[in-house]
Structure 1
Amino acid sequence: MASASLTSPNLVGRSAELAVLDRHFDTALARGAALILTGEAGVGKTALLDAAAARTSEAGFRVLRIFGCPYQKGIGFSVLNQLLLRLAEGIPALPAWQAETLQAVRGLSQEQPAELLAITNAVQALLTRTATETGPLALIVDDAAWVDRSSAMVLGTLGRSPHAGPIALLGASRTGDESLLNNIGIPEYEVRPLDDAAANELVADRFPAMAARVRRRLVAEARGNPLALLELPVPLDDLQQTEWGALPAVLPLTERLKNVFSTRVAALPAATRKLLLLAVLDGSGELHILQRASDGPDGLSGLSPAERAGLVQVDGGTGRLEFRHPLTRSAVMDLSTSEERRWAHGALAAELPEGSEHRARHLADAAVGPDDHVAALLHEAAYSTLRRGDAVAAITTLLRASELSATGTDKARRLAEAACLGANITGDLRNVRALLDNAGHADPSGVGSLAAATAAASRLLNGEGDVDTAHRLLIGAIETHEWPGDGETVEDIFREALNTLLLVCFYGGRPELWHSFEDVAKRRRPPTSGRLLPVILGAFGDPAHRALPVLDRLDHLVRGLHQQTDPVRVFGVALSSTYVDRLPGCRSALRRVIDDGRDGGAMALAIQAQFLLAGDAYSGGQWDDVLAMTEEGLGWCETYDYRLTASTGRFQRGLVAAARGDGATAREIADRLVSWGNPRGLGALRVYASHIRALSALGDADFDTAHRLLRALVTPGEVPLFMPHALWLLLDFTEAAARTDHHEEAAAHVAAFRRADIPSISPRLAMVTDAAEAMATADFIDHDLFEAAIATPGAERWPFDWARICLAYGERLRRAKAGGAARVHLDAALGTFERLGAAPWSARAAGELRASGIPVRPLEPVESDGRDRYALLTPQERVAAQLAATGLTNKQIATRLFLSPRTVAAHLRSVFRKLNVTSRGGLRDALTAPMP
């Protein structure tokens, strides 16, 4: 008979336990075996018994399942009778005296049951005969602690018998429970709680819609107990299981969990439960706080019964009180009354200093009605929480502060602020209207408040509203807002209003919107305002004309992002970095914001952070990552109704489609951006659409179409105010203008960039400006400018732009009959375009190579240690290395490749470093040495 394989698809994280049971039943096939599973309540012992029963049955065992019962523990042979009932048909076939013995045990004979040894022998005979006739037996005993003494003695003797035959006894007993089966020498195996990975998998499988942050909280509280993992979600409503509802500080227990965790707490003295309640609500574990807050005469001595019961312990290292299992805290809360909880909160608040967030929260939980003083304290606590990066908790705190507000004005203000933060930070756009309606009912005069206007503007921008309406609404609210003080809470709401107005101006795309923004921000800016706003205005709002004075400050802010916990500030710094090429320094901070959003935190900011990273990935040539990131981001936009924010993700997908030659997708995205943006006055979306269409046309060498599209956006000789996107269009416009013989336009546009000193903003902008100027030249090839662009330090960070420059240079060299030099740059462009999947650009580069008449074939690699040496080198470095290895001087190589000797020297220094050589002789040896 095959061994019993206990690999069950229904059990998560129990492969080790199932392997133990597998070996146990294999042993039983040969000579019989017994095993008792032990473990805490709810750890999964019964689930393992179920799995064993199912799989052993499939493997040919006959399964006999019996259960201990607390109500029958005093009744002799009650559990043994469960077994005999299942085997009753085999009893008459036993010798008469054994059959009579078992019938007496069953109460079906006038005889009294014989002595225990005779009963054991009769049961063993019955089991052996049954196993011989029907196959091996699996005797499974659940709740072994409740097995009556007589039955336990019989089963224990059978389990220890070396001649039991193919009979497997498997029992389960809770750790700490007294059981005769645990005390007579049967081997035991402790079932441990699930590890974190398995616990997460179990909850995710059973509750797939649960937010990650909620799942992590449950996993932490359950501490690997499967019953707790499956039961803790049950009392939570749909909002609490997803990202919208706040979880209680102490999770509620179901009836099943109460039976497991509340029994020992309920048995404690009242004074002990009181101390435990203080410990639960305090949460710090500090004994001195409990001692001061307790009004009992014995102080902390009341904890002793809980320590003896194994519910709490004092950590020897920290001196703090710890609950041995987090759900004991829930049991303490569940057994307390509302009056007791209010008393405990009040007692703890009295021991905390004025101004403490914890004091404010305890006072709020102790309150039984409106209390303006407590509401004001809680209001301040909400913004402290926000600045630490927990926007969800901040909104929950604001809502509680609104409940405690005695006046309609304060209630409305706090509801509006919750709506504002929800719309701009947490992604709670769908609840904005309800919150604003409630605020209006509380105080109809407050519907035009700054917070309410900011929330309403966010709804307008992502709904059916238009830019001008949102702009007027925000400007009016900022103009008329009366500052209630100079505290930081004022600053936070003002910041959100300005952030929303900033997006209105950006997406509106008109200078007059920006001018009114600047005016109102200067006049109405509170004195405590930080220094980020000028950076955002300069580097993001109008980088062409205002970035240079703020770049040092921006670089400082980017370097400090690793310490920044406020997601609003992280986003502001990253947004400022977008057009001035500082986004790589923001990546890790943006990922933190995204992870927080995935976990149910600042989702609105997470969406925008995702698209910032996608834009960075596009510039860096990670186009497959762009598609993956924007797909996820657009899914969030659909879920949370952020339709305007979605336009950025669609624009990025449109660029990839255009660059890769997917014209149908590019056109569909461009058309969608225009059709949605035009009725709402979203000028930026028209720019997005034209950029996509022009890039698609350039790839197809349709330069007339590209010039027409870009000429509608660009005035040659001018760098428009408040149009940051113009910095991304220089190369496109110059190429389109030059290829359609509008060289004067191209030259004028480059000259405008030079006058504005735009190349000083970043190496990328310097690279594309040099290349654009070289492209604009009609009568000769400006080798110095092309070389300078191609040799820009770190040019590999912008592979698509760099490859386009190589292509443009190669095209001009080929037409000038410099075929060898052209091949270097065309090869480089072709290789990069192919890696990016930029099919139309690859076709252009390949066409130029074919037109040159030079066979297009890869350079032969020389391998050593299984590595391709040439894979380490750029195309220019490969050619320079080959020529240098033949003995040519730098000047001779420069003449052949139309490069300067200085550029050749730079290439060779890089080659020497990469190939670990120090001379031309070493270079020749490295390139020609055979494989060992």
Structure 2
Amino acid sequence: MLVGREHELKVVEEFVLRAASDGDALVLYGEAGVGKTVLLDAAEEAAAASGVPVIRTVGVEVETDLAYAALYRLLTPFLSQLDGLSGQQRRTLATALGLDEGAPPDRLAVSNAALSLLGLARGDGPLLVIVDDLPWLDRMSAAVLAFVARRLVGARIGFLGAFRTGESSFFDGGGLAAVEVMPLGQTAAASLIDRRYPALAPRVRQQVLAEAAGNPLALLELPSRAADRSHERQTAPALPLSQRLEHLFAARVDPLPAETRRALLLAALDATGDLGILVAAFGASAIDDLAPAERAQLIRVNGERRRLAFRHPLMRSAVIAMSTDQQRRDLHAAIAAQMPDQPDRRAWHLAEAAEVPDESIAVLLEQTADRILRRGDAVGALSALLRAADLTPAGRDRGRRLARAAYIGAEVTGDIGSVPRLLADAQHADPGGADALAAAVAAAAYLLNGEGDVNAAHRMLFGAIATREVLDGEDDGLIEALWFLIAICVFGGRAELWPPLDGLMGRFRPAPPRYLTVLAKAFGDPAHQALPVLDELDDLIGGLSQEPDPAYVARVAIAGAYVDRQRACRGPVQAVVDHGREGGAVTSQIQTEVILANDDFFAGQWDEALELCDEGIRLCELHGYPLLRWLYVHQDAVIAAARGRTERARAAAEAMTRWAAPRGVGLLLAYGHGIEALLSLGRGKYQEAFVRASSITPPGKLQPYAPYALWTALDLVEAAVRAGLRTEAARHVAALRDMDIPAISPRLSLVTAGAAGMVSPDGRFADHFEAALAVAGAERWPFDRARIQLSYGQRLRHGRAMAEARRHLTEAFDTFQRLDATPWSALAGKELRAAGGSRGKLQAGGIAALTPQQREIAMLAAAGLTNKQIAEHLFLSPRTVSTHLYQIYPKLGVTTRAGLRDALSNEEPTTE
């Protein structure tokens, strides 16, 4: 009988009914021992009473590196129904679960297939899925089940999960209903003790109540050890509650017969709950050996389903913790012997059983790493590869595996800090004989992503590739090396780095993968080489939705960055970012999240871009990627420059230049000039802006291998025009046209036509401006479009076409206001007033100057909420709230929160 859980029981029972009639998901969270598992049991009982079938599993620590292990256990009862899925879904799910061989399955496709199988399995009735200890699911299973849980409404399937407070989980937030299971109140806690231990001495009872702090499991376990605890408390340090409970569980296991403890340990290490493995290892009598543990209420045994479950996850931990190394090795070997048809599980159990290096096991683990990598789980693959290296005798194979692990750590999983150690270990394992190319790729990745030493990385990697007599276009190691060499050349930003690369690419037989050729041209030199490969690039992007490899998605998306394909790549890139957030390929997330930020910038979603930049900078600092960090700093600083945040933008540009100059990172030097150019434009320092923009590429010329010049073309022309350098501006527009830059993308068509309008003489400018504004989808690039409209309105006003001028200036002003591009809105407002318009007259002192979101934030801040509370209420980050308040104060004419309430009482804006 549950005590003090009336509310939680009602919530769970109502959830079961709701899920059975329509479909729903719910997660429970709370401290260890607070009663989450008991509530899951209650839900299972309620479902059984209503005739709702239940499938149940639990996350276990020993399986976290086995891709889709938990999903396999959960879906095992329904695998016979796989043939009821469509052919593609059946193949996808079978491949993910290791039942078939095939191409790496896309995780989204696996998720949809799992959802379809559950729908098929429930037939005409409902189904309840229960998963305990969510954070201990393997990453791939967790991602799939989180996807499924969020898509159950209307499916008559329920998902009920639980996790401990303080443990990260893919299931907290993101639209899933969550209920915190709190400790019992004092009255309920006392009632629970009195029901279970009515004869407990008052002193002991008081001690238990104090130490348990309302935790039900502690209330039930502590009394039996209270005397010992009162003695220990004089000398032993206080332990966290979960550790104390684990110790208490260990004390309950210790008196059990040796055969029972052995059976429990095998079950804990196996984690599948399959009694068949226990019987196969120890004989039929093993079931009887479990009886003492079942009577002690440490486990549950379901004879019909031949399944075993521990009563609490801490029990499993306690059983393992109190065993010896030799006992665990022996039982891992026994489990492996029962898994001939599960190669990945078998390999891991053999590895855990090994006492000395064993090449045969290392081979199996490396094969497991390859399979896991093909399923899209780079983190699990790295774990398997490192364990394989540990089990490899010293020599070439050990060196090769360590070098490969170093590369995966640098390029995929975000473990760049481990690269030097792994490479040193590889060299030590096989002096002079470790795979030179693999080591060079890992070292170059470390030099480029870490210290940003372009020249050293270029020399090292070019030399390692060039010494190969045969450049096999199907050699994965060579392909990875070639990708890194392209990246080095792009970051170097110097034309002389490219001819050696071109020579190598010409030596490949067959040719290297087409995506790398497209990448080199479209990303490395878009102004001169992108046009011939754009159709191929668009085809590659079109296929990304079915691509499971985050690294491949990242590279194709990067190829489209300077030719304005960010929006076309957004869906697959978002999947890569989500994969990284869920514990997957962090490096790919870092490489691609900046593409989302770029897209948000061009689309006018600047606050969203800043949030992505915050996350990217944090990840780069956490995982040790100082070079990639500057990509996010650049985007953040560009927005600061556009908004007139002079100190922030200038500090970023100067810091970037100081870091990049001694390392030869020419691309970042160009970024620094671009930030300064935009900042100077907004401040009216047009000559200075022209000098900065011309440092990226001179007027009238688009430098080869200077991709950033396409992003700053409008800056250069506008700065030249406003500085009175019309000849230079006209030369640059002519260069854009001569090189057919408008054909690269609609945005560049908008920019080129708008720039042509800026330099055209009176009487001809309108046609160019109108052509710019007529570009299909021009509104998708609001900042560029508004700048063009501002210039157009100025030219119209000077020509005395006041009505037409006011129309364009009004639209420009409104856009700049929405973006909070203060310098530009000030200029547009001034021009609008000069043209006889009424917009732009708003002064601080009224809510009409605020955007709807700013108004809501201001109201909440005036009500006394903190930035964090406002962020939680509006599903924003605290940084975004702080940024909005920074913008709100001057608009309302206040400097503190205290002035917000009075300012917000003004219903109408004041005007001049």
Q: Same fold per TM (> 0.5)? A: yes
Q: Which runs of 5+ in 1 are unaligned?
A: 1-12, 20-38, 46-136, 156-169, 180-227, 233-253, 860-866, 872-932
CA distance in 2 between counterparts of 1:171 and 1:455 reads 49
Contact 1:262 1:332 in 2 (8 A): no
Larger deviation: 495-504 or 507-516?
495-504
Aligned match for 2:801, one of 784, 805, 818: 818
Q: Please, which of 494, 497, 511 is the counterpart of residue 481 of structure 2?
A: 497
Q: CA deviation at 1:748?
A: 4.2
Report the Cα offset of residue 831 of structure 1: 0.9
| Superposed CA offset, 1:867-907 (max 9, x none) | 9xx99xxxxxxxxxxxxxxxxxxxxxxxxxxxxxxxxxxxx
Amino acid at match of 1:783: A
Paired AA for residue 498 in structure 2 = W
2:34·2:216 contact (CA, 8 Å) conserved in 1?
Answer: no
- Give the superposition deviation at 1:403: 1.4
1:341 paired with 2:328, answer yes
* Contact kept? 1:717, 1:745, Cα under 8 Å: yes
Match of 1:838?
A: 821
Instruction: Please say which of residues 669-678 and 334-343 is displaced more in the overlay.
Output: 334-343
Q: 2:744 aligns with which of 761, 775, 782?
A: 761
- C-alpha change, 1:174 and 1:379, in structure 2 (3 Å) is closer
Distance 2:427 2:298 in 1: 49
Contact 2:573 2:593 in 1 (8 A): yes
Give the aligned residue type for 1:707. F
The 5 A counterparts of 1:71-90 are none
Which residue of 2 is the match for residue 474 of structure 1? 461
Residue of structure 1 equivalent to 2:252 = 263
Partner of 2:405: 418
CA distance 1:399–1:144, shift in 2 (3 Å): same
Distance between the aligned counterparts of 1:171 and 1:42, measured in 2?
6
Residues 288-319 of structure 1 show CA distances to partners (whole Å, capped at 9, x for unaligned) of: 5555x425255867666666665555779987
2:424 counterpart residue number: 437
Displacement of 1:688 in angstroms is 0.7
Structure 2: distance between partners of 1:462 and 1:781: 49
* Shift in Å, 1:273: 5.0
Return the alpha-carbon distance in structure 2 between the equivalents of residues 519 and 229 of structure 1.
64
Offset of residue 832 of structure 1: 0.8
Residues of 1 paired with 2:222 and 2:606: CA distance? 64
**Which segment is superposed worse, 722-731 or 608-617?**
608-617
1:683 and 2:663 are equivalent in the alignment: no
* Counterpart among 661, 668, 686 of residue 703 in structure 1: 686
Indicate the residue corresponding to 1:583 in structure 2. Answer: 566
Q: Is the 8 A contact 1:461 1:470 kept in 2?
A: yes
2:351 to 364, 369, 374: 364
Q: Is the 8 Å Cα contact of residues 579 and 727 (structure 1) preserved in structure 2? A: yes
Q: Check 1:552–1:173 CA distance in 2 against 1; reply closer, same or farther (3 A cut).
A: closer
Cα 1:557–1:300, aligned 2, differ >3 Å: closer, same or farther?
A: farther
Contact 1:767/1:789 (8 A) holds in 2: yes
Residues 190-229 of structure 1: matches in 2 within 5 Å? none
Q: Give the whole-Å Cα distance in 2 for the aligned partners of 1:518 and 1:481.
A: 16
Structure 1 residue 548: Cα displacement: 4.1
**Distance in 2, Cα, partners of 1:175 & 1:665:** 55
Which residue of structure 2 lines up, in the alignment, with residue 510 of structure 1?
A: 494
Q: Deviations along 1:46-67, whole A, 9 cap, x unmatched?
A: xxxxxxxxxxxxxxxxxxxxxx
Determine the structure 2 residue equivalent to 1:805.
788
Deviations 1:568-594 (A, max 9, x none): 223223322322222234445444544
In structure 2, distance between residues paired with 1:40 and 1:811: 64
Q: Give, in angstroms, the shift of residue 647 of structure 1.
A: 1.6
Q: Which residue of 2 aligns with 1:296?
A: 283
Report what 1:427 is aligned to: 414
Aligned to 1:540: 523
Shift of 1:564: 4.2
Equivalent position of 2:34 in the other structure: 43
Aligned residue for 1:445, secondary structure, equals: coil
CA contact (8 A) 2:472 2:510 kept: no
Cα deviation for residue 563 of structure 1 reads 4.8
Q: Hey, what does 2:811 align to over in structure 1?
A: 828
Residue of structure 2 aligned with 1:786, choices 764, 769, 784: 769
Q: Distance in 2 between matches of 1:150 and 1:751?
A: 93
Task: Name the CA shift for 1:171/1:748 in 2 (closer, same or farther; >3 Å).
Answer: closer
- On the 8 A contact 1:142/1:173 being kept in 2, the answer is no
Match of 1:774?
Answer: 757
2:313 corresponds in structure 1 to 326
Give the AA of the match of 1:407. Answer: A
C-alpha deviation, 1:149, in angstroms: 5.3
Structure 1 CA distance for aligned equivalents of residues 360 and 559 of structure 2? 39
Distance 2:805 2:390 in 1: 74
Task: Quote the sequence identity (%).
Answer: 46
Query: Using the alignment, how far apart are the partners of 1:532 and 1:349 within structure 2?
Result: 42
- Mark the CA change 1:176 to 1:441 in structure 2 (over 3 Å): closer, same or farther: closer
The match for 2:381 is 394
Task: Tell me the SS of whatever aligns to 2:691.
Answer: helix
Structure 2 residue identity aligned to 1:411: R
CA deviation vs aligned residue, 1:337-377 (integer Å, no higher than 9, x gap)? 43443333333434445793223222222222111222122
Q: Distance in 2 between matches of 1:230 and 1:564?
A: 45
* Preserved contact between residue 262 and residue 328 of structure 1 (Cα < 8 Å): no
Q: Report the more deviating stretch, 674-683 or 623-632.
A: 623-632
Q: Does 1:660 align with 2:660?
A: no
By how many angstroms is 1:818 displaced? Answer: 0.8
Q: CA RMSD in A?
A: 4.5
Which structure would you say has the larger Rg? Answer: 1
Q: 1:230 to 1:382 in 2, by over 3 A?
A: farther
Residues 145 and 173 in structure 1, CA contact (< 8 A), matched pair in contact too: no
Q: Are 1:408 and 2:395 counterparts?
A: yes
Q: Secondary structure at the match of 2:800?
A: coil
TM-score by length of 2: 0.63
Q: One-letter code of the match for 1:361?
A: W
Q: Is the 8 A contact 1:266 1:335 kept in 2?
A: no
**1:379 Cα deviation from its structure 2 partner:** 2.0
Q: Match for residue 281 of structure 1?
A: 269
User: Residue 90 of structure 1 corresponds to which residue in structure 2?
Assistant: none
> How much has 1:275 moved relative to structure 2?
5.0
CA change 1:784–1:378 in 2 (3 A) is same
Amino acid at match of 2:791: A
Using the alignment, how far apart are the partners of 1:337 and 1:525 within structure 2? 55
* Paired AA for residue 504 in structure 1: I
Amino acid at match of 2:667: A
Count of residue correspondences: 651
Please give the secondary structure, in 2, of the residue aligned with 1:469.
helix
Q: Are the equivalent residues in 2 in contact too, given 1:447–1:453 (CA < 8 A)?
A: no
TM-score normalised according to structure 1 size: 0.61
Query: Distance between the aligned counterparts of 2:276 and 2:215, measured in 1?
Result: 46
1:570 maps to: 553
The answer to whether the 8 Å contact 1:140/1:171 transfers is no
Gaps of 5+ in 2: 11-29, 37-186, 206-213, 224-237, 843-847, 853-912
Deviation at 1:269?
Answer: 6.7
Equivalent position to 1:453, from 436, 440, 443: 440
Quick one: distance in 2 between partners of 1:717 and 1:773?
Answer: 13
- Post-superposition CA distance 1:686-709 (Å, at most 9, x none): 211111122122223333322233
Secondary structure in 2 aligned to 1:541? coil
Is 1:712–2:701 an aligned residue pair? no
> How does 1:869-908 map onto structure 2 within 5 Å?
none
Q: In 2, Cα distance between the equivalents of 1:737 and 1:288?
A: 79
Conservation of the 8 A alpha-carbon contact between 1:439 and 1:446: no
CA contact (8 A) 2:829 2:840 kept: no
| Contact 1:265 1:332 survives alignment (8 Å) | no
Q: Does structure 1 conserve the Cα–Cα contact (< 8 Å) formed by 2:472 and 2:478?
A: no
Give distance in 2, aligned partners of 1:482 and 1:144: 81
Any idea what SS the aligned residue of 2:563 has? Answer: coil
